[in-house]
Structures are given as structure tokens and as C-alpha cells.
Structure 1
Amino acid sequence: MIAIERKFNAYLDQVKLITVLLPYSYFEGTSNEFRLKGEGVNLPLAIQEKVFLEHAVKYICFSSVRPEIGKSYSVTDEHGGETDLQIGAVIRTDEFDEEYFYGGEDLGASYSQGKTIFKLWAPTAAKVKLKLFQSSEASHELISMKRLDKGVWSIEVDRDLELYRYSFLLCINLEWREAVDPYATALTVNGEYGVVIDPAKTKTSIAESPSLENPVDAIIYEVHIRDLMSHPNSGATRKGTYLGGAERGTKSAKGIETGLSYIKSLGITHVEFLPFHDFEGVDELDRHSTYNWGYNPVHYNTPDGSYATDPEDPYNRIQELKQLITAVHREGLGVIMDVVYNHVYIRETSPFEKIVPGYYFRHNEHGLPSNGTGVGNDIASERLMARKYIIDSVLYWLKEYHLDGFRFDLMGILDVETMNAVRKAVDTVNRNILIIGEGWDLNTPLPPDQKANIANQAKLPDIGQFNDWFRDSIKGSTFNIYDKGYAIGNERYLEAAKQVMAGSIGIAKRKNGLFLQPVQSVNYIESHDNHTLWDKLKICSPDHDEAILKKQHRLATAMVLLAQGIPFLHSGQEFFRTKNGVGNSYRSPDEINWLDWDLRDDNLENVEYIKGLIGIRVGNKAFRLPDSEKIREQMSFLPLPAPLIGLKLMSPGEGDWEKIIVLINPSMEQKLADFTEHARWNILADNEKASPKPFRHIEGDKVLLEPCSLLVAAI
């Protein structure tokens, strides 16, 4: 195809609406007529409106015929000038979505020993070719693909293509572009090409996943694969890799267990791994030279090679990730995958933009890409094929890698219908799968009532949301490091602290909460983002003795574990994890990000305390009430003076205790608290120890609370 020199431009912006832009440098931007030519058509366009822009005149024209997308047309003007009709904003119309939606489950490369079928959805392309080669790109072959219905292109290659490299070449708007298959399940090193693999060669033995009666039974522990075992004293041989994370029997310098067996010993139910789909930011051939959290997604359906022992072998990363997941399952733990469907690393170079330009990303009222994510692009999840891609990808990971949950990064960018469709699709496979996400309200062109954010939680009943109200009430504002929360002695957060301890569903004086049900509340005070709690404490209370800071840290973490809802811990939180004051360590070196097992060994007393609190939660359903009605029935507040909080939990009918009292004193002074009744109280936790079994008793109706501490008593 020969490109036409464009002195002006014409775009198909709706199915019968053509926008022509004439620059002032071209006949002063004037033309009294335009014609549409091509595919047996030679018809005048009706000029409906003329808009004077800074550098050009925009003519909005109506066509009496509907140009067929994927075929070639040109537009001429009264001066004899001619330009090709480019695909414009029509791809973002409902008509386009409805006409070209493809519901098949066979996009990508479908391999068998005798043949491989390639299918690609590219409705705006005029031509598509498959680029195919074994090892040397110089010897590649190009095979023309056939256009089918719904804008799908297909080719069947009748020979064994195992380990062949491939990409697609597309001619769109008279320009050729090359793209990796967005449905590729295997890649060459650093994701340059897709690779055809035999899925049968990646199968592994399946260890049984944990089963939960209710999502509030989960206790989530967030880990970065590289951080987990990179430390010199992690005891792992293959540090910073999938296999390093999977190693068993690892021990620290003091001979204390590390890795997955240590996490299991805490009482955790689910390990949430930061993104492990293919991402930019780490050279897979030189992974030690740079570090990245993984929130730079490039290819969504393939594991990243920077955690593999041999990233040049397309099978290696797949097999080793599956070994890690199996190792987690063998510890009786679930695996939650952190997924980043809200944006791509670079829009212009992503397969989505190269294959169907302008379709997969949101645009603002000026036609420019929106930036609610803050990284230059927002995935348009509301478009049918973008929604289908997200659902297909989630189901692929779920079925192929036997995952137990998904954490949606910046979920507020996505739309409600897509997230509910994901939930519905996942439920057809396993209703036990956890789905949680960051429901922040972000500035994207999606209508407010369609955003999958906390404000619309009533429309997302079975999806957990990270509770920033909990986070900021207990530790203080994340975005004002000097703001202190309730657990750090700020009485101003007292009433908010009560509400978030009750699952943020609205209790006592507050009839309406942040959420309808406790399963929607993911309670946390620190994660990979922002400062660790320890670093915040060091910065906002520089004059405090470390012993006091540790008490405050312990109290805040205890409130996460004893609140209604789903508790979430950042790895190392139980031993005062620090990043040396770095508030955004997404590309800081290993020395800042790794789990410091020496620090763990120095803080075993606190580790045991947190382990004891987890045991209390697991052993008593009163801390895991499954719905808001039961919380309102079985949980109440004791009439204690500020800043104390007293929670009374009645037994839901199971467990050893008829009644549990939780007393919290965030102040720096001893406080006398009233149990409100005289009894022989069994102590499960105090300022020094926590255990699911009582370790001492208190006789009477009052107790003296130590500074910055809690007490859990039961009868």
C-alpha cells in the first residue's frame, strides 16, 4: 500500500460522521466541498459545522453511506487535494463496540503438535501479517492473515511451531506497525516477541488451595517476590527468584526459619504477591542492576522473567512460578495475585495501542488520553473488548496457575460493570476466590456512578476495598506524615477508630458506614506504598524512645488484627520493617526493600505477640463476624472515658467464650477501665503477651491498663 502525502487530514469519528482538518497553511483552511471515495463509493459529504481552531479549520461532515472499517477510503476537497480516511473516534462509540465485539475464547496462539492457529482482534486494520521465526529474526517469514467476522484475523500454520517466536504486523491508516500478541502466554527475554509453547509441558502437580468459610476468615500478608529472600541471611540459595521463594527449610543466621514456613507459622491464610506478570523496569538479563515493584505492566498473561533462573527459556519462568505457587499451597496458604489492569507502562508502545489505536484507553473531552492513574494512560475497561480482555486474563491466571485471589491495583479506574463481571466469571470457577482492590476516586472521564471505587461500594457487594478510613484513623494521614492517628495518641480520631474497629459498617451513633458489609473492608495501616509505619513513627515522633514507638506500632497492628473485616499486613510489619525513611521505594535498591531477617531475629518478642493476636482472631469467630447485622447484634462499646475504647463481643454461638472484652489505651498514661461487670476474667492479651489460650486471670470489674496497650479478656 502506497501512503498518500497528507496536506490535510480526515477522520471517521462516528459511523457516518467524518471530521476534516484543513490547516491554515493549506488554502487558508477553506474548502466548500468534500467527497468520499473508495470501495465503489464516490459521494459528496454534507458539511454540517465549521469550527475555527488555532492552527486549522475543522469541518464536521455527514456521509450518506457508512464507510466499512478495515477498508480503504479517501477524502478529496475542492482544490483537488486528497487524503486517506483515517480511523478516528468512531472506535470509541457504542456502535463500534456492539458491531465488533467478539465473544470467542480462542484469541492468541492455540497450539497442537500438527498445527497452530493464530487469532487477533484488529478490526481497524486493513491488512495483518504474522511474523514467524525459530531463533534468528533475520530468517523470519511473513504470512498474510485472513479477516473474519467481528474484526478478527486468523491464520492456521500446519506444522509444529513449538518455541517459534512470533508477532503481528498491521497496516492501519496506511502505516505498518509491529505488535506482540496481547494474549501471548510465553515471551522471549524482555518481552520482545511472543513464543508458541506446548501448554502440556508447563503442567505441575496441584496442591490443594485453602478453603474459607467467609472472606473475613482471611489474613493477608503482602510480599514482593524479590524482597522475600534477597537478604544475605535469608537462608535461600536462589535469592530474589521464584525458586528462592519456594525453597523450604531456609533459616536465618540465628537458625530461625525464614520464608514461607515462617509466614505459615504466623497464622497467615493468604500471601499476596506484588505484580509478577511481565513488567518494565528490570532487565531480565541483568536483574541485579535495577529494582522495581512491578507496576509497569507490558504483557499481562506471562510471568516476568526477572524472577526466573533462565529468562531466555520461555518455559522456565512459567514452570518456576508454578513451583512457587505450589510451594505456597503446600504450606496450606493461598496466593493472591496483584494485577495492574488500570494502565500500561507506555501507551504508545503497548500492544493494545499498536493493534487498535485509541480503543483500549480513555480519552478526555478534548480527545487526549486521560491520566487518572498518574502514569499517562487509563485503561478503558468499559469498552467491551477491553472488559473481555480483563476477564479473559483473570480467568487464564485462575485456571492455569491455580490462584486463590486477585488484588486490583487502582481499581477505582475500572468500572463497576467490569468488576462485577470479573466476580461473576471467577465464581463460575471457584466462589472461594478473594477479590480485593484499591477503590480510590481517581480523575478519569468515567461517570462518577460507574467507577469501581469506595463511593460505589454498594454496587460491588462481593469485592473487598482497601479501607483508607481505617488506615488514616489508626495511624494518621498517609499524605501528611506528621499527622498522628488514634493508636499514636491522637484523641481526635477516637470516634472514627470505634467505627473502623466495627468493620466500618456504621454502628451505635453512626447509622450508615463506609461499607454495607464487613467483607468489603480490607483493614490495613501499611503496605508497599508510602512509608512503613515504623518509618512514619520515627519521622513524626523523633524525640520518643524506641520502646514507646514499638508499643505504638504494636497497638496499631493489633487493631488491624482485632477489627471486623479482612486484616492485611505488610510483610515485616510484625518486626518493625523499615525502608530507612524512603517513602516510595518502587525502584530503590534491594538494601532498602528486602525483608531484613536479622531485624526479624532481633524482634522475635514482637513477632510472637503478633502471632498470638492472629491466634486469638482465628480461634474466636467473634472477631470474624460475617455480616453487618451480626456485628450490630453482637458488638457494642463500653462507656469508657476518652481516649479509651472498650469493645464487647458476644459469642456468635461457637468458641470457648461467651463474652470477649477488648480494651484499648493509646495514651502515655496508665488508665483504669471498667469491665462493667464483676467476673473472673481470662486474659488472652495484655501489654506483654498475646495467646489464644488464657495465660492469667483478673478477678473483679476493673483493670489498670498500661500506657499504649490493649487487653483482651474473656469469660
Structure 2
Amino acid sequence: MKISHILALGVVSASSASPAMADWFFRGTANTWAASALTQVSANTYETCQQFGAGDAGGGPRFKIDRLGDWSENYPAADYQVSANTAYSIAFNSSTKAINATQVASCSAASFSKIFPSLYFRGTPNAWAATPMELVANNTWQLQIHFDGQTNQRFKVDVSGNWSQNYGDTNGDGYLNQAGADISLTGQGDYLLTVNDQTLQYTLQSVACTSNCGAAADTLGAVYDAEGTTFSLWSPDASNVALVLEGVNHAMTKVTSFNGYSEVYQVRVEGDLHLAEYYFTVNGNRVRDPYGKMAVPQSDTNIVMDMARTEPLGGWASVPALNKREDAIIYEVHMRDFTIHPSSGVDAAKRGKYLGMVQAGTKYNGVKTGIDHLKELGVTHVQLLPVYDYATCDGLPDSDPCYNWGYDPRNFNVPEERYSQTPLDYENRAREFKTLVNELHKAGIRVVMDVVYNHTYAKEMFDKISGKYYTPTDLSGTGNSIDADVPMVSRMIQDSLQYWVEEYKIDGFRFDLIGIFSHAEVEKWGAHLNSQFPDRNLLLYGEPWNGYASDPKEGQRVRYGTTRFMAEEHVGVFNGAYREAIKGNNDGTATGFMFNNLSAADSGWAIYDGMRGSPYNSNDGRNGTWFRNYTADPEQSINYISAHDNFGLWDKVYLSLSSNVVQNGSHQIMSLTPPADLAYPKRVVNFGMGQIFTSQGIAFVHAGDEFLRTKTADEQIATASAWNYGQHGGTHNTYNSPDSFNSIKWHNKVNNAPTFNYFRDLISLRKAHAGLRMNTNAEIAQYMALSRPAEFGGQVVTGHITYPSDSHNLFVVYNSGNNVYVNLPTGNWTRVADANGAANAAGLSGTALVEGSAVTVFSQAR
């Protein structure tokens, strides 16, 4: 049942009665801080009688008066203290907010005023018999009733129990009418009926289940079943915890630790609650469910979900095979960027959406776009920039032109509404994202989620639950970094990861700023996921740095120097050291090996190390936090040149080969003289990515690099102003720049076909040769002979690979300088890749010409 339907059926909740000023509630230790309606005895005076005990864990007997029953307005500022084990008649003036608590002998019905001499409940739950209601306060009658959810259940109240004076609700407004219509209810479970015989207002409030409450929850959040939903919240600092379900308050009680959880408050509400709206309150503060599976856009209201109703049409396809993690070739892309431009060929309604990414058969001028492009390129994984519910760009999709990457989490387990075609159809919103994953799987492509557990959009996301969610020192650079050293916070992250794999069939996670976490916690997450999904070969990797913060726990965080401790759990990190050796810096014009700058690449030695997967050597005296050789397994090295951050590959190459470049302190471009000829810059792009595709580890591509995507405004790359957006942003950091900067323009695939062909050919070569994807550091040490010939001064690095699992031996040459001749290993060789991509020059032996600024690959059949 959706309890929000109750109002239409003539039942008012605590927050939905008629005049707002009439909604006043008692909340205190006497009723475990639930919201009990006061009785209105005059225009401004409300009364109740309450029997107080000894108090609760928070202190002695006390209370407040709460307007609307949601803690949004309550009196007095500090709790009103009373004596223990005493009854009080309490009067409240809604005009002056004065409270008068008078001690009385008891709160028995005999002392209460009334208009009706008696009152009876009659309805389907009691076969229309007359069940007496109890006078509990002045003019206030109550009875707890169990509704079993039968068809057409309904009721009335009857003054004498003989139908001579009975009341229903003809108008459905929460007020009784004599001889009025039956009051209908579709709910199931226990409800408290309250009737005021002076105002004729009535309420029906769901009562928390306390025993025989169905299957126990095995996790936090809202655990749904057809008979009811169990709601659980971690609250380590406060015991005043409640659930507000469709406006109805349910007190939550602390439960015994279960399934590794502690300090948990829980309540179960009976009935089919699929799609019911809810939130929690802690000490009267409204808070979202950190485990929520769906959310109302632009709010902290969550939705109860029966996720079984959200499966993709036709059911789940099998997950594409991945024999070993080194086989992965990752393609990073932003959901909106991929299809929002008309050149994508995607249907207008699907552009920038989940279903647009997987629309088959799209083309631009005869070349494949969208998902068919991904298949043609040959990548094995798509890494999606954040697709969980994020806070910026509020408003339903397309209500404004706002753009954001999404690194500002609001609800970790909820698909972002801006990428859905039906954001308010909660079932379909989830189904659309599942369909995206499913269609990519059908295409042979796995899905990696970019997850941002290191911070939230603002502290208000969780701090009203507990300040323990956040680190004392800001580590993320956002002011609200998450403290995963707190066990229940670490467990929340682990549970969220497991949920995405179980529910949405996600195949891996890219962790934003994984460096703010202690490697021991990350190891727990990896060990848990791999034990739960042993056949999935999940990819787990992240950025081993933080937000430029000084960290008192630096030594225990994820860094190059601690990555080897996570090898057994199959966790890797981005190899920024190799990236910078190849290209130079990220946001300026400094260059590296691919530009023939040998000093930046440590005269080729950093390339030598990166080519073999940056293996850790315990005997190397240079070892430390940031030393470039750090992996205990090649899968721990994510090899890349560009990603969403910083200049994209083509923009970096173009800018670095321009002259008269002037940048301000925010990396914006004040002036530049473009390269006179683009042939060499295009060659540099191929050279750099050729190294990525032929190095040990896991290869990574940023969307559009394969056809020289520029993120300058409207692709006006030769104009300095087109590189900038706002005061600080622009091409080097387009996190909030509009589509004119970020959208992928598919005509570039036509215009830069040679670059696309090179990427496709090198990916195909990598997939064809296991020798480029060896499985352990020991195998690399045994079957890869590297050389940095002294006669070339560091400009040439070679690797001779004799991996038994490959049908061919390989000889890979990186040449950053001019054309040179190199000595081939013994035997006959075929050149299979050069500066232009795939090649086929057989019968080579002795020495061979290798072009400058190029990766050349030779193969030798066994």
C-alpha cells in the first residue's frame, strides 16, 4: 500500500490535517517521543494528559510540543522537565506558545471532558461489530485496530453501538460527517484511530510492528517484502530516531547487533509499501536514508522499492567473459557527452540518456556511433562517470542546460534522474539503467562505475545522523570527506558496492580519490566483493591521491607505496607516474617522452619501468610513498595518458606544440600561436597511446581521444578564448562547462579516421597477443627482456616478449627520436604495427628500421 493514498480515502496523517495551526502534538518520554495529537479545547488552547515514568537514556522525564509532528517547529527550546512517575495535565497556547503542566492524580478517562457518552469502532476488521473506543484525553477517543489488507476494507464510528448515530467521511477531508460514507483503507497492519468528538477530526496512524514482523532485515535501509518493509538506520549518537512514511510517524527502537551492524534503530511497517515515500528523523532532524535505493528528485525523500519489478525487459543477459583482469581495455565516458550532440544519430528523446548510449544502428555520415562505435573500437569495459544521484544540476532532465560531471554525491545507491527519460517513474528509472548495463553486456562490454565515496555534496547529507561520517581533517578538498576508518561508515561503502554488483550487475568500480582511505579498509572491500562474486573478476581501482591535503594518517592511506598490500584483493591505482613520463604535465605545456623530451622521462628509464608494469622491488633503495615502481601484480597499474580531469589528449598535444602560449594561474589560455602543421601532433597522439596499448597492466582510454576530440568551446581550438569558461574553468577542467565544450562531436570520427584506425588496430593487436597482457610480475620478469640501448641516449626502449601463452614472440620498440635501425632478436620477424597502426611486413631479420615518434611491434611465430 502507498500510505500517501490515505488522504484521498478520508484519513489524515499527522502532517496533513486541515488548518496548519490545529496540528499540534505531544512528544516526550511518556510516549517514547512519538507524535500524539493534542486535543483542541478552544481557538488557541490544546490539551493532553500524560503519565510519565523515569525518563529514557537521554535523561529524565521531559517533553516538547511539536507543530505538524515533524520537528520542524517545536517548543520550548529546551525540553520541558517534569517529575518522574507522575501524571500531568498539559495545556498549550498556540498563540503565546506558553505551556502549563499541572500534576494530576491520574490520566483516567473519568477526569476527561467529552461530548459523546461513548464511541464504538465498526468495520470489516471486526465484522462490523461494535468495539468500544477509549477516552484518553479531553474529547479524544482512541483504538488500535489491525487491518489485514482484505479487499474493500472500511469502517465507521458509532456513538451508541446501535447505528442510531454513526459517522463516516463523505468528503474525504479527515473530518467526520453524521451518516457519512464508509471510510476505506487499503493498508495492512496495526493502525491507531484517534477521534476528537468536539472538532469531529480523526486520524489513522500506522503503528510500528513489535513482534512477528516477518523476515528479518539483513542490511540497513528499507528492506522490502510483499508483507511489509523493515527500515533500519545507524544512529550512534542519538536514540530519538523515527521513520516518517508517507507523512506518518513511526518510532524506531534500538535493536541487537546483527550481521555485523551495531547502534542500529529499526521499525517494520506492514503492507505492500512499494513506491511509498519515506525519510528518517534523528533528534527531530530530517535525514535521508544512506542506503536508499530510490529518491524523489531534488529532495531528501527516499522511495521504498521492490527492485524485482525493475528488471530489464527480456531478463538479464550473461556477463561477458573476462579471463584475467589484465585483459581489460577501459573506455571512460560521461553519459551525457556520449550522445547529446545531434551528430550521434541517437533519437532526440534519448540523447544524453541511459538508453541513448545503447541505441543500436546509429551512424554519422556512414560511420558508426554510440554503442556500435564501442564494439568497433574493441574496448572491453565502459567506465561511466558518476551515474548515481548527484546534487548539482537540480531540476528534472532538460529543464535547464546545466552540466556537471557529477562528483557531488547525494544518494550513493540511486541512479541519477537527469539521465532517465522517465525520472518520476521510479520503476522505469531503475529499469533504464539496468537496460543500459544489460545492452552493453549483450555487446560484449562490461560496465565500471565511477564512485565517489570519498565525500558528499555537503555535510548536510549525513551530519544530522552522525558527525562520525566525516573526517576531522578535510582530505578531499571539498570540506566533507568521508571517514572510512569508522567501521559502520566503511561497512556502508562495502554494502553500496555489493548492492550495485548484485542489483545492477556492475562489473567494477573506479574510486574517486581512493587515496583518502586507509588501504586496510579498501582491502576489506575488495576481499568481500571477490568472495561474494568469485567468478566475476571485478575491476577495482582508483586515484591514489587525496585533495591536496596534509593527512595525519598518510602512512596508512592508499598510495603508490601501499598499493602492493592490496594485490591479493585485486585493487589497482592509476599510474600517474607513467602518465607524466609519457606526456609531461597535465595542465600546461611541459612535455615528456612522446614529445622526445628525455629528461622528463628520466632518459627513458621511467618508460622502461612503465612498459613492464611498474613492478615493485623490495631491494630498490628508491622505494617510498610516490616511487613509480609500486605494483605487486601488473593488474594494479592502470595505464593512461588522459582522463576527464585536466587537458584531454588532443588538447594537451595541440597546446604543447603551439608557440607563444600564455596561461594564467588557473591554467586558462590567454594567448597561443597554433601549430603550423598538424601532422606531427597527430603522430604524437598515436605514439603516446601506442605505449599504453603495448605496456603491461590495464589499458585506459578517455572517450573521444580515438578521434582527436577537443574540449574547447565549439571546437575553436585555434582561438585562445575558446579554451576558457568562467573565471577558472575551461578545457583543462570542464566539470561544469556546457555541451559546447563537452559533447562528443561525431564528425571527428570521419575527419580523423586515421587516428581512430590506429586506436582500433592497436587494441586489436593487444587483444590478439597474451604477451602484452601477462598475468604476474614473475611472468614479466621471466618472459620480457627489456633494453634501453645506450647508443640511443634513452630515446629507444625495447621489450622482447617470449610468453608461452602467446602463439608469437613479440619485439616492441618505443622510439621517441628520429628514425633508427635496431637489432632484432634472432630469427625472422614480421612488422605488425607501426606509426599508422596495423602493418604486415614479413621476412625481417638482423636489423630493422623503426620510425621516430612511433611504437613499432614485430611478431615471430613459434
Partner of 2:681: 549
> SS at the partner of 1:190?
coil
1:115–1:502 Cα change, 3 Å: same
Pick aligned residue for 2:532 from 426, 429, 437:
429
Are positions 1:518 and 2:634 aligned together? yes
> C-alpha distance in 1, partners of 2:543/2:26?
48
Pick aligned residue for 1:476 from 581, 584, 587:
584
1:504–1:247 Cα change, 3 Å: same
> C-alpha distance in 1, partners of 2:607/2:734?
29
Pick aligned residue for 2:804 from 646, 649, 653:
653
Matches within 5 A, 1:589-608: 589-608=738-757
Of 635-644 and 515-524, deviating more is 635-644
> SS at the partner of 1:440?
coil
Taking CA–CA contacts closer than 8 Å with sequence separation of 6 or more, which of the two structures ends up with the larger relative contact order? Answer: 1
Give ranges in structure 2 of 5+ residues lacking alignment: 1-24, 28-51, 63-76, 80-215, 257-261, 624-628, 660-674, 713-722, 724-730
Partner of 1:620: 769
Q: CA deviation at 1:452?
A: 2.0
Q: CA deviation at 1:168?
A: 1.2
- Contact 1:39 / 1:71 at 8 angstroms: preserved in 2? no
- Contact 1:476 / 1:484 at 8 angstroms: preserved in 2? yes
Q: Could you list the per-position Cα deviations for residues 248-300 of structure 1 after superposition, in whole angstroms to 9, with x for gaps in the alignment?
A: 11111x12111112112212111111111110112241434201111000111
> SS at the partner of 2:267?
strand
TM-score of the two chains, using structure 2 as the length reference: 0.67
Q: CA deviation at 1:70?
A: 4.9
1:445–1:709 Cα change, 3 Å: closer
- Contact 2:217 / 2:223 at 8 angstroms: preserved in 1? no
- Contact 2:217 / 2:230 at 8 angstroms: preserved in 1? no
> C-alpha distance in 1, partners of 2:341/2:388?
23
- Contact 1:503 / 1:563 at 8 angstroms: preserved in 2? yes
Give ranges in structure 1 of 5+ residues lacking alignment: 4-37, 42-67, 75-81, 85-102, 134-139, 364-369
Partner of 2:392: 281
Q: CA deviation at 1:706?
A: 2.5
Q: Could you list the per-position Cα deviations for residues 494-538 of structure 1 after superposition, in whole angstroms to 9, with x for gaps in the alignment?
A: 111111111111689978722222111000000000001211122
Partner of 1:20: none
Partner of 1:270: 381
1:422–1:70 Cα change, 3 Å: farther
> C-alpha distance in 1, partners of 2:356/2:481?
34
The percentage of aligned residue pairs carrying the same residue is 32
- Contact 1:221 / 1:270 at 8 angstroms: preserved in 2? yes
1:211–1:286 Cα change, 3 Å: closer
> SS at the partner of 1:341?
coil
Q: Could you list the per-position Cα deviations for residues 56-100 of structure 1 after superposition, in whole angstroms to 9, with x for gaps in the alignment?
A: xxxxxxxxxxxx9655699xxxxxxx999xxxxxxxxxxxxxxxx
Matches within 5 A, 1:347-426: 347=459, 349-350=460-461, 352-356=462-466, 358-363=467-472, 370-426=473-529
> C-alpha distance in 2, partners of 1:507/1:116?
53
> C-alpha distance in 1, partners of 2:329/2:538?
14
Of 375-384 and 193-202, deviating more is 193-202
> C-alpha distance in 2, partners of 1:72/1:399?
46
Larger Rg: 2
Partner of 2:563: 457
Of 436-445 and 571-580, deviating more is 436-445
Partner of 2:852: 707
Q: CA deviation at 1:40?
A: 7.4
Are positions 1:535 and 2:681 aligned together? no
Are positions 1:147 and 2:254 aligned together? yes
Partner of 1:662: 812
- Contact 1:498 / 1:645 at 8 angstroms: preserved in 2? no
Pick aligned residue for 1:684 from 828, 832, 851:
832
Give the letter for the 2:643 counterpart: S
Pick aligned residue for 2:327 from 217, 233, 236:
217
Are positions 1:501 and 2:607 aligned together? no
Pick aligned residue for 1:130 from 238, 243, 267:
243
Q: CA deviation at 1:605?
A: 1.5
Q: Could you list the per-position Cα deviations for residues 636-693 of structure 1 after superposition, in whole angstroms to 9, with x for gaps in the alignment?
A: 2343512432423332213332x311122212x322323254x4320101122325xx
> C-alpha distance in 2, partners of 1:599/1:672?
35
> SS at the partner of 1:564?
coil
Q: Could you list the per-position Cα deviations for residues 316-358 of structure 1 after superposition, in whole angstroms to 9, with x for gaps in the alignment?
A: 22110000000100001110011110000001x20x21112x1
1:711–1:698 Cα change, 3 Å: farther
Q: CA deviation at 1:197?
A: 2.1
Give the letter for the 1:122 counterpart: S
Are positions 1:299 and 2:299 aligned together? no
Give the letter for the 2:556 counterpart: Q
Give the letter for the 1:482 counterpart: T
What RMSD in Å do the two structures reach over aligned CA positions?
2.6
Q: Point out the structure with the larger helix share.
A: 1
> C-alpha distance in 1, partners of 2:254/2:525?
29
Partner of 1:571: 703
- Contact 2:388 / 2:411 at 8 angstroms: preserved in 1? yes
> SS at the partner of 1:554?
helix
- Contact 1:555 / 1:709 at 8 angstroms: preserved in 2? yes
1:661–1:425 Cα change, 3 Å: same
Q: Could you list the per-position Cα deviations for residues 201-232 of structure 1 after superposition, in whole angstroms to 9, with x for gaps in the alignment?
A: 11231111122222111111101111111111
Partner of 1:193: 301
- Contact 2:784 / 2:802 at 8 angstroms: preserved in 1? no
Q: CA deviation at 1:242?
A: 0.4
TM-score of the two chains, using structure 1 as the length reference: 0.80
1:425–1:243 Cα change, 3 Å: same
Give the letter for the 2:707 counterpart: F
Pick aligned residue for 1:558 from 680, 690, 693:
690
Q: CA deviation at 1:112?
A: 2.5
Q: CA deviation at 1:457?
A: 1.1
> SS at the partner of 1:496?
helix
> C-alpha distance in 1, partners of 2:371/2:561?
36
Partner of 1:229: 339
1:377–1:508 Cα change, 3 Å: closer
- Contact 2:477 / 2:549 at 8 angstroms: preserved in 1? no
Partner of 1:164: 276
> SS at the partner of 2:373?
helix
Partner of 1:340: 452
> C-alpha distance in 1, partners of 2:477/2:405?
16
> C-alpha distance in 1, partners of 2:272/2:217?
24
> SS at the partner of 1:407?
strand
Q: CA deviation at 1:2?
A: 11
